[in-house]
């Protein structure tokens, strides 16, 4: 619900990412067009000049090239003014010796954050920690929410990106803790067949514990 009590529709996994004109620390941009042909990870944070967010943004900067090697760009978001973002970037460069090489969206009215579902009551005056993975076709592939006091883990975000790439390219699924699952290691899972004939064809095949549980090496 928004302030007037009207229901706000937010993008869901599998839907097109909404068209957004945004003001960032690197100028005006249009999303998702600015990252055409690439994945991008949009991440919101509660506020500039706060300890957890500072460590997160510095870590995103340190790992930016690792995301880029997977054809993924980064872009931040909060309800702070662009002037605050710029000063915060300067502080991180001076104090932490890291260059913030990705844009940060300024959304002082919260319109963009509300469109994305990144403002949750009762914290209605600031963005939550949210992560949106968008593929090169501008389709929203994953949304993650974090509580205010828990910083994000770069290794997990990179792992999820790799898994999304594998799932999209090979039309398979990844198991728990992939690529280090306790039972099938780095293998991936095949989707179960949708009819009796397919189930019969799967029985007894290499990599199948049952017709509905089959794995393979990529």
Amino acid 46: pLDDT: 95
Spatial neighbors of 189 by CB under 8 A, at least 6 apart, are: 172, 173, 174, 175, 213, 214, 215
Domain boundary among 122, 152, 182: 152
DSSP 8-state symbol, 34: G
Over residues 3-23, mean pLDDT: 82
Asked whether residue 14 is domain-assigned, the answer is: no
Q: Based on the residue annotation, tell me whether 53 is a catalytic residue of this protein.
A: yes
| Rounded Cα gap, residues 138 and 141, in angstroms | 9
Percent of the chain with pLDDT over 70: 95
Asked whether residue 90 is domain-assigned, the answer is: yes
Over the stretch 40-57, which tens digit does the pLDDT of each residue have? 999 999 999 999 999 999
Asked whether residue 4 is domain-assigned, the answer is: no
Tell me the pLDDT band of 124, cut-offs 50, 70 and 90. confident
Domain boundary among 152, 186, 209: 152
The CATH number of the domain holding residue 26 is: 3.40.30.10
> What pTM was computed for the model?
0.92
- Is 126 or 151 the better-scoring residue by pLDDT? 151
- For the chain, what is the domain count? 2
* Residues 138 and 175 both lie in one domain: no
* Residues 147 and 175 both lie in one domain: no
Reference 84, options 47, 124, 129; nearest CA is 47
* Residues 24 and 108 both lie in one domain: yes
Tell me the pLDDT band of 1, cut-offs 50, 70 and 90. very low
* Residues 110 and 186 both lie in one domain: no
Over the stretch 180-201, which tens digit does the pLDDT of each residue have? 999 999 999 999 999 999 999 9
Q: What average pLDDT does the structure give for the chain?
A: 94
* Residues 147 and 61 both lie in one domain: yes
* Residues 178 and 143 both lie in one domain: no
* Residues 118 and 185 both lie in one domain: no
Asked whether residue 34 is domain-assigned, the answer is: yes
The CATH number of the domain holding residue 182 is: 3.30.1020.10
Asked whether residue 105 is domain-assigned, the answer is: yes
Asked whether residue 73 is domain-assigned, the answer is: yes
DSSP 102-157: S-EEE-TT-HHHHHHT---TT-TTS--EEEEEE-TTSBEEEEEEE-TT----HHHH
From the candidates 53, 72, 208, 214, give the one annotated as an active-site residue. Answer: 53
Parent domain of 64: 20-152
Domain boundary among 101, 120, 152: 152
Asked whether residue 183 is domain-assigned, the answer is: yes
């Amino acid at each position: 619900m928004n302030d007037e009590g009207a229901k706000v529709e937010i993008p869901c996994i599998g839907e097109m990412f909404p068209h957004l004109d945004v003001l960032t620390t690197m100028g005006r941009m249009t999303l998702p067009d600015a990252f055409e042909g690439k994945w991008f990870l949009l991440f919101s944070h509660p506020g500039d000049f706060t300890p957890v967010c500072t460590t997160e943004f510095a870590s995103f900067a340190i790992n930016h090239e690792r995301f880029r090697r997977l054809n993924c760009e980064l872009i931040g978001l909060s309800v702070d003014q662009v002037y605050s973002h710029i000063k915060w970037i300067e502080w991180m460069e001076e104090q932490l010796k890291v260059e913030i090489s990705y844009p940060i969206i300024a959304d002082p009215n919260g319109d963009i954050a509300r469109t994305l579902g990144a403002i949750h009551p009762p914290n209605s005056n600031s963005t939550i920690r949210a992560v949106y993975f968008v593929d090169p076709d501008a389709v929203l592939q994953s949304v993650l929410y974090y509580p205010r006091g828990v910083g994000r883990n770069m290794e997990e975000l990179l792992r999820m990106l790799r898994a999304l790439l594998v799932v999209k390219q090979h039309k398979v699924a990844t198991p728990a803790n992939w690529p280090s699952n306790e039972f099938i290691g780095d293998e991936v899972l095949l989707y179960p067949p949708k009819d009796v004939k397919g189930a019969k064809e799967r029985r007894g095949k290499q990599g199948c514990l049952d017709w509905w549980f089959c794995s393979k090496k990529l």
